[in-house]
Amino acid sequence: MSRRYSRALITGIGGQDGAFLAARLLAEGIHVTGTHRPSSPQGNWRLDELGISAHPHLQLCGLDVLDVAACRSLIAAMAPGAIFHLAGQSRVADSFRDPLGSVQANGIGTLNLLEAMRRDAPDAHFVLASSAEIFGSPPHAPQNEQTPWRPDSPYGLSKLVAHAAMGSWRTSFGLAASSAILFNHESELRDTAFVTRKITRAAARIALGLDQDVALGNLDAKRDFGYAPEYVAALANLADRESGEDFVLATGRAASIREFATSAFGAAGITLEWQGQGADEHAVEPGTGKRRVHVDATLLRPVDAPLLVGDAGKARRELGFEPKVDLAELARRMVEADLTRERTGRKP
C-alpha cells in the first residue's frame, strides 16, 4: 500500500513490536532506521527470525533516548516522515524495583524525542506506544480514550508522563503526535520475562519432559490479550494520518492468567485441573497427578489491576483495526513456536 511517509524511525526495533513493525514497513518499501540501546549488540534474534536483519532498506544504530543531543542529531540527519517510539522500560514488575529509572526511560525519553521532532522534523507523525496501565484499576470496564487516568504502578505513571506529553505537544506546538493505548498484545516473539511467554515456554518444555512445573503470580488478574502483528498494523496506519489523536488498541475480551495458562498447556497436549485457593492454588495433570503450575507469593506485585479490557471502537472505525486471533489461537501459535525452539535448540 502507499504511505504518506517513505522513511520511518523505530526506536526499540529489537523488541517484539519494533521487529514486527519493521518487517511490515520494509515489505511495503519504506526505508527504516531502527535504534537499540548503545550498549546492546546490533544483532537481534527477532530480526533474524523475521528474515530482515540484512534487508537493504534497514539501518540500525545505537541511541540513548535520555541523550538530548543524540536524539536531535539522529532525527535531523534522518528527516523521518514517521517516528514510532517503542523503546523504554517495558515491564511492570521492574518498575517497582526502579521507579525513577522507569519514569526517566519512558517519560523523559519521550519528551526528548518530541523536542527533537519539533525542532528538526516538525512535519513528521510521532506515534507513541502508550499502555493500558495508565488506567490503573478503573472502576468501569471496558476502558476507552475517555477513561480517566489513575495509574497504580510506577510503570503506569511512567507511561502516563509520556502519554500526557503527546497531548501537550500536540496542543501546544501543533505536532502530529499520537498515542496508541496498547492493551496486552503477545506473540511468538515475546520476551521470556513476560508472563505469557513464560507460560508458553514452560508448557512446551514440560510437554517435552524437560521441566516439571512453572511458578506464577496472580492467577486472577484479567487482561485483554491480542496478537501483536495486528496491533503494529494499526500503528503503521496511525502514522498515515495528517493529525495526531489517541487510540485504544484492544480486543474487547478479557481472560485471566489462569485461563491463558489452561489454553497454553492445552495447546501442548496437557490438560490442567486447578485446585486450592490463593497462594495455595496449583494445577495438576489429571491421570498422572503431577503438579504443572503453582503460585509463588514472591511473584505477586504490590499492586495489580484486577481487570483491564479495552474498547477499540474508534480504532476499528478509523484505522481499520480488526483483531481476529483469539486467546486459544494466540496460545497455540506461541506454544508451537516454543516447541520448535526447544526441539531445535534455538532458544532466544
Q: How far apart are CA 37 and CA 34, in angstroms?
A: 10
Residue 43 has pLDDT above 70, yes or no: no
185 SS3 class: strand
Determine which one of 28, 49, 115, 133 is catalytic: 133
Name the residue ranges covered by the structural domains of the chain. Answer: 7-186+226-252+309-323, 195-220+256-305+335-344
Question: Does the annotation mark 155 as catalytic?
Answer: yes
More confident residue, 41 or 204: 204
Residue 134 scores a pLDDT above 80: yes
Query: Would you tell me how many other CB atoms lie within 10 Å of the CB of residue 76?
Result: 12
Answer yes or no: 5 catalytic. no
Where does 209-316 show beta strands of DSSP type E? 214-216, 222-223, 226-227, 246-249, 255-256, 273-275, 282-285, 290-295
Angstrom CA distances, 254 to 184, 193, 197, 218, 314, stand at 10, 21, 18, 15, 19
- CATH top-level class of 7-186+226-252+309-323: alpha beta
Q: What is the mean pLDDT of residues 46-58?
A: 96
Range with the lowest mean pLDDT among 86-90, 172-176, 262-266? 86-90
Per-residue pLDDT of 217-268, as tens digits, reads: 999 999 999 999 999 999 999 999 999 999 999 999 999 999 999 999 999 9
Q: What is the Cα–Cα distance from 261 to 281, expressed in whole angstroms?
A: 13
Shortest CA distance to 251 belongs to which of 183, 195, 189? 183
Active-site residue (options: 5, 28, 115, 155): 155
Q: Which CATH superfamily is domain 195-220+256-305+335-344 in?
A: UDP-galactose 4-epimerase, domain 1 (3.90.25.10)
d(CA 215, CA 199): 9
Q: Residue 279 has what DSSP assignment?
A: G
99-129 in b/e burial notation, b at 16+ Cβ within 10 A? beebbbbbbbbbbbbbbbbbebbeebbbbbb
Considering the entire predicted model, what is its pTM? 0.94
What does residue 3 show for φ and ψ, rounded to 5 degrees? -105, 160
SS3 186: strand
Kindly state the cell numbers that stand for 158.
511512567
265-314: per-residue pLDDT in tens? 999 999 999 999 988 999 999 989 999 999 998 888 776 666 889 999 99
Rounded CA-CA distance 159/165 in Å is 10
